[in-house]
Amino acid sequence: MTIFFGALLPYRLRFGVARAWARSMLFAGKGLCGLDYVIEGAENIPVRPSVIMIKHTTVFETYAQMVVFPPQTWVVKRELLWIPFFGWGLAAMKPIAINRGAGHSAVRQVIDKGRARLAEGIWITIFPEGTRVARGETKRYGVSGAALAKEAQCPIVPVAHNAGDLWARRGLKKRPGLIRFCIGPPIMPGDSSPKETNLLVQNWIETKMHEISTGYRDKTT
């Protein structure tokens, strides 16, 4: 019932409820598991609505980005909306739900719906590799975030973190420690192609991951 009535609230109030929940999860992680975190580069967050591209290795960053950034929504696989209760609540947050196998039409959907959300003042969060990846690994970065930023002429904010060193991708066990949540300088698409912009974003994220994550360093030793 709370989900259905919550959908009637203005979006910023809905997001405020979601942010409070995310903050409680971070608080629980610190109190119960010793997972502390620090935000680096908060001064890089633009004033205008932007596209956020985050390395996805754990559940931690799904909480953290809701606390750190302004009201936002997410590009998600459509199957998440089919999950009882969780999916219904997610649907109330104006996500851009795509069929990841749809190729160009999925990218077009991200662009069209993303521009509409940005025009409403809602930021767009994208996990560019499309799924959680194991620590120290990299998958192909999808181009939809860069394509959206190109058409909307808005900044892309790259984010790297080392949560995967303390929290396994598919494991429940967590090791206490400090997570560095690093926000990079905004990348403007300008006249560059989405592929060129995407490469700049990927290079920043993966270089930063190599700097802060033992998982990345282990791959090269």
pLDDT tens, position by position, 114-135:
999 999 999 999 999 988 998 8
| 100: CB partners within 8 A, 6+ apart | 77, 106, 130
Domain topology for 2-219 = Glycerol-3-phosphate (1)-acyltransferase (3.40.1130)
pLDDT tens, position by position, 160-180:
999 999 987 666 678 999 999
Rounded-to-integer distance, Cα 96 and Cα 102, Å: 14
Instruction: Tell me the three-class secondary structure of 102-158, residue by residue.
Output: HCHHHHHHHHHHHHHHHHCCCEEEECCCCCCCCCCCCCCCCCHHHHHHHHHCCCEEE
- Name the token pair of 27: 């608080």
Rounded-to-integer distance, Cα 115 and Cα 75, Å: 12
Strand partners, 22: none
Reported confidence tier of residue 61, pLDDT bands at 50, 70, 90 = very high
pLDDT for the residue 158: 98
Domain boundaries, the chain: 2-219
Q: Does the pLDDT of residue 204 top 50, yes or no?
A: yes
The answer to whether 110 touches 37, Cβ cutoff 8 Å, is no
% helix / strand / coil in the chain, to the nearest 5? 50, 20, 35
The answer to whether 65 touches 26, Cβ cutoff 8 Å, is no
